[in-house]
Each structure stands twice: as structure tokens, then as C-alpha cells.
Structure 1
Amino acid sequence: MYVCLCEGVTDGKIREAIYDGCCSYRDVREATGVASQCGKCACLAKKVVRETLSEMHSSQSALAFPANFISA
């Protein structure tokens, strides 16, 4: 689903940015350009970031040996 029409950012691109090492909304915004034009998508973008980070932390805590996500 498109989150940011101005920059053409989808929820998938936001998740991909997080999987690639972004650890915050600010990081995602810098990496994707989401909410950098009109800003109407900021609330939805933040929600996708929160949900994705939460899912990652939940799955990481379920691992016997937590993985470390390091920015390349």
C-alpha cells in the first residue's frame, strides 16, 4: 500500500528500510523520503515504523540467541 504519494513510498519500502538497519522513524524518513513533502502521510508512516519495529523486537525476543541488527 502506498503510504506517501508525494515520494512514492510504500509500506513495503518502509519495512525494507527497517530490515536494512533503520532503527527509528527519523532513520526511515532519511532513507526513503517519506513525509518530506506535504507531511500528510507522517502519522501512517510512523504507525508502520512502530508496528514493524515492535514485530522485530517480539520475534527477536523469541530467539534463544537474539540477532543483532547492525547498519551496514
Structure 2
Amino acid sequence: MYVCICQQITDKQIREFCEGRQVSMAQARAELGIASDCGRCGKFAKQIIAESALTTGVSSIAYAA
């Protein structure tokens, strides 16, 4: 499902980006472009980053968008 309509980023892309490593919201914004236009996706993207950290056993450092 699309999380960021402005940049056409899906939840799958975010999960793949986070796979097996610590990722901050700032990193996701810089590399994927999440929440860099209208910002409405920031809260949901942050949630996906945190969930990805829990499923891979890596602690998340997801900051507010």
C-alpha cells in the first residue's frame, strides 16, 4: 500500500529499507523522500519503521517527521 503519495513510496519499500538495521526517520526522509513534501505520511512511516525494528530485533531510532 502507498504510504507516501507525493513520492510514491510503499510500505514494502520502507520495510525493505529498514531490514536488519537501525533506521531513523531522518535517514528514511533523506534516502527515500518520505514526508519531504506535504508530510502527511510522516506519522504512518514512523510507525512502520518502529514495527520493522521490532520484527527484526533491532531497536528503532525513529524520530518525528
Aligned residues: 58
Higher relative contact order (CA 8 A, sep 6+): 2
Q: Residue 13 of structure 1 aligns with which residue?
A: 13
For structure 1, the residue ranges without an aligned partner over 5 or more in a row are 59-72
- How high is the TM-score relative to the length of structure 2? 0.78
Identity across the alignment (%): 36
For structure 2, the residue ranges without an aligned partner over 5 or more in a row are 59-65
Q: CA deviation at 1:29?
A: 1.4
Calculate the aligned-residue CA RMSD, in Å: 1.8
Structure whose alpha-carbon radius of gyration is higher: 1
CA distance in 1 between counterparts of 2:3 and 2:9 reads: 6
- How high is the TM-score relative to the length of structure 1? 0.71
Q: CA deviation at 1:18?
A: 1.0
Q: CA deviation at 1:20?
A: 7.0
